[in-house]
Homo-oligomer: A and B are copies of this chain.
Amino acid sequence: MLSGGIDSATALYWARSKGYRPYCLLFNYGQRHSKEIHSARRIAQQIKAEYKIISLNLPWKGSSLTDLRQEIPQHKKGSIGKEIPSTYVPARNTIFLSFGLSWSEVIDAEAVVIGANALDFSGYPDCRPGYIRLFRKLAREGTKRGAEGKNISILAPLIKKSKADIIRLGMKLSVPFALTWSCYKGGRRPCGKCDSCRLREKGFREAGVRDPLIE
């Protein structure tokens, strides 16, 4: 599942490095801008992976990430909020993983790979290890493949990594970070102030690597 950000791009390259042949699933779910889906597409094309775009047309908002009338929260440097922020999209990873599971059964894929991580993150509940573990069980219990004793793995290779570690891993795997997009806003350049920009900046700084998106 490829969002166009640093994490899912790194998870994709990780999967490829482990010998998986990746099929990429992209989601258009009413994000504020289409920059991240363009990024995701270019990353998939970069490694010549098959990809599909799911257009969700969610008839509800419930998140500042999909509701243009809401402001994206800004944070001072190094001060990601302790509460779950308004950018939380209700049940987003459950929706994404359910499509991933469905496509996996159809193409007989071994695993669904998700870039979720729970260290330098915004506190989204559906990024935590316990959540991934439960979805793993659900995948076994709720599919034909699972019922037949074959399993669809749910892999979250970055779940316990810091953003700096993810960037270091990405560098090792030659992830094209210049193609990734993290900013919640769709400007020409990253805003530098939203959660996602802050976490990205912190990661590159701690990894001692220059962010190719920042001039």
Q: Known: A134-B138, A141-B130. Contact between A102 and B91, CB under 8 A?
A: yes
A interface: dominant SS: helix
Report the minimum CB–CB distance from A198 to chain B (whole Å): 20
Q: A95: which B residues are within 8 A, CB to CB?
A: 95, 98-99, 102
What are 26 A-B contacts defined by CB distance under 8 Å? A54-B58, A55-B57, A60-B102, A60-B103, A60-B106, A62-B105, A84-B144, A90-B102, A90-B104, A90-B143, A91-B98, A91-B105, A92-B102, A94-B94, A94-B97, A94-B101, A94-B102, A95-B95, A95-B102, A126-B142, A126-B143, A128-B141, A134-B134, A134-B141, A135-B138, A135-B142
A138 to B146, CA, bound (A): 18
Is the CB–CB distance between A147 and B102 below 8 Å?
Answer: no
User: With A57-B55, A93-B142, A147-B125 as given contacts, are A134 and B137 in contact (CB-CB < 8 Å)?
Assistant: yes
